[in-house]
Amino acid sequence: MCGLIAVSGTVSSAYEAFFGLMNLQHRGQDGGGILTVDSKRPHGFQLVKGSGLVDNVFSERAFKNLRGEAAIGHCRYATIGRNDPNLLQPFLDYHAGLGLAHNGNIVNFYQLREKLFMDKESKMPWLESDSELILRLLSRGLNNRTLSAENIFDALGTVMNTLVGSYSCVCLTEHGDIFGFRDPNGIRPLVLGSKIGEDGETIHAIASETVVLSFLEYTNLSEIEPGEAVFVDSKGNVTRKVIRRDSYSPCMFEWVYFARVESEFGDNSVYNARFNLGLLLAKEIRKQGIEADVVIPVPETSRIAATALAEALNLPCRELLIKNRYVQRTFILDDQQSRQEAIRRKLYPIAAELKGKRCLIVDDSIVRGNTAKQIVRLVRQSGASEVTLVSSCPPIANPCYYGIDFPSSGELIASNRTNDEIAQSLGVDRVVFQTMEGLKEALGQKSLCTGCLTGKYPTDVESGKQFEMQRTRDREAPLKKSSC
**Using CA atoms, how far apart are residues 207 and 222, in angstroms rounded to an integer?**
11
Residue 1 has a pLDDT of 80
Residue 82 has a pLDDT of 58
- What is the band of 484 on the pLDDT scale with cuts at 50, 70, 90? very low
Is the CB of residue 297 less than 8 Å from the CB of residue 303?
yes
Task: Say whether 177 sits in a helix, a strand or coil.
Answer: coil
Q: Amino acid identity, residue 450?
A: T
146-160, 236-250, 454-468: segment of lowest average pLDDT: 454-468
Tell me the C-alpha to C-alpha distance, in Å, between residue 178 and each of 36, 93, 136, 465.
Answer: 11, 15, 17, 35
Residue 340 has a pLDDT of 53
341, pLDDT greater than 80? no
Distance of CA 346 to the CA centre of its chain: 21
Nearest-10 crossing angle of helices 436-443, 270-287: 150
Task: Say whether 152 sits in a helix, a strand or coil.
Answer: helix
Is the CB of residue 103 less than 8 Å from the CB of residue 2?
yes
Tell me the C-alpha to C-alpha distance, in Å, between residue 444 and each of 170, 437, 438, 441.
Answer: 27, 11, 10, 5
What fold characterizes domain 3-249?
Glutamine Phosphoribosylpyrophosphate, subunit 1, domain 1 (3.60.20)
**Using CA atoms, how far apart are residues 415 and 367, in angstroms rounded to an integer?**
10
**Using CA atoms, how far apart are residues 107 and 29, in angstroms rounded to an integer?**
23
334 or 96: which leads in pLDDT: 96
Residue 344 has a pLDDT of 60
Residue 59 has a pLDDT of 86
pLDDT tens-digit map of 201-250: 999 999 999 999 999 999 999 999 999 999 999 999 999 999 999 999 99
What is the average pLDDT score of the chain?
91
96, pLDDT greater than 90? yes
Looking at domain 266-457, which CATH architecture does it have? 3-Layer(aba) Sandwich (3.40)
Residue 466 has a pLDDT of 73
Q: Amino acid identity, residue 115?
A: K
Is the CB of residue 79 less than 8 Å from the CB of residue 471?
yes
112-121, 185-194, 390-399: segment of lowest average pLDDT: 112-121
The verdict on whether 251 is a catalytic residue reads no
**Using CA atoms, how far apart are residues 216 and 235, in angstroms rounded to an integer?**
21
User: What residue spans define the domains of the chain?
Assistant: 3-249, 266-457
**Using CA atoms, how far apart are residues 318 and 222, in angstroms rounded to an integer?**
37
Residue 475 has a pLDDT of 61
**Using CA atoms, how far apart are residues 444 and 256, in angstroms rounded to an integer?**
12
Is the CB of residue 393 less than 8 Å from the CB of residue 400?
no
Residue 12 has a pLDDT of 94
Tell me the C-alpha to C-alpha distance, in Å, between residue 198 and each of 36, 110, 174, 195.
Answer: 20, 47, 25, 10
Tell me the C-alpha to C-alpha distance, in Å, between residue 450 and each of 51, 320, 367, 385.
Answer: 32, 32, 14, 35
Residue 32 has a pLDDT of 96
Which DSSP state fits 255? Answer: I
Q: What percent of the chain has pLDDT over 90?
A: 77
Mean pLDDT of the region 246-270: 96
Report which secondary-structure segment, H or E, holds 223: strand 219-223
Is the CB of residue 206 less than 8 Å from the CB of residue 224?
yes
- What is the band of 120 on the pLDDT scale with cuts at 50, 70, 90? confident
Residue 483 has a pLDDT of 34
Mean pLDDT of the region 418-441: 97
Q: Which residues pair with 73 in a beta bridge?
A: 5, 34
Kindly name the residue from 2, 75, 169, 171 that is annotated as catalytic.
2
Residue 479 has a pLDDT of 47
Tell me the C-alpha to C-alpha distance, in Å, between residue 106 and each of 141, 434, 463.
Answer: 18, 29, 10
Residue 144 has a pLDDT of 92
206-215, 402-411, 420-429, 467-476: segment of lowest average pLDDT: 467-476
| Sign, CA torsion 191/192/195/201 | positive
Find the length of the chain.
484
pTM of the model: 0.92
Tell me the C-alpha to C-alpha distance, in Å, between residue 235 and each of 10, 62, 96, 202, 204.
Answer: 11, 26, 21, 9, 11
Mean pLDDT of the region 86-109: 94
Residue 337 has a pLDDT of 56
472, pLDDT greater than 70? no
433 or 125: which leads in pLDDT: 433
**Using CA atoms, how far apart are residues 445 and 317, in angstroms rounded to an integer?**
29
Is the CB of residue 448 less than 8 Å from the CB of residue 440?
yes
**Using CA atoms, how far apart are residues 152 and 330, in angstroms rounded to an integer?**
39
Reference 231, options 155, 319, 288, 294; nearest CA is 155
Reference 374, options 400, 339, 325; nearest CA is 339
Instruction: Say how many C-beta atoms besides its own lie within 10 A of residue 420's C-beta.
Output: 10
Residue 408 has a pLDDT of 82
Nearest-10 crossing angle of helices 419-426, 370-381: 60
- What is the band of 13 on the pLDDT scale with cuts at 50, 70, 90? very high
75-84, 177-186, 228-237: segment of lowest average pLDDT: 75-84
334 or 158: which leads in pLDDT: 158
408 or 384: which leads in pLDDT: 384
480, pLDDT greater than 80? no
**Using CA atoms, how far apart are residues 196 and 218, in angstroms rounded to an integer?**
8
222 or 480: which leads in pLDDT: 222
Mean pLDDT of the region 267-281: 97
278, pLDDT greater than 60? yes
119-123, 233-237, 325-329, 477-481: segment of lowest average pLDDT: 477-481
Residue 86 has a pLDDT of 83
Give the ranges where 171-225 is alpha helix by DSSP (H).
210-215
pLDDT tens-digit map of 137-148: 999 999 999 999
Residue 423 has a pLDDT of 97
**Using CA atoms, how far apart are residues 179 and 297, in angstroms rounded to an integer?**
40
**Using CA atoms, how far apart are residues 334 and 85, in angstroms rounded to an integer?**
13
pLDDT tens-digit map of 40-65: 776 689 999 999 999 999 988 888 88
Is the CB of residue 484 less than 8 Å from the CB of residue 426?
no
Residue 474 has a pLDDT of 65
189, pLDDT greater than 60? yes
Is the CB of residue 274 less than 8 Å from the CB of residue 257?
no
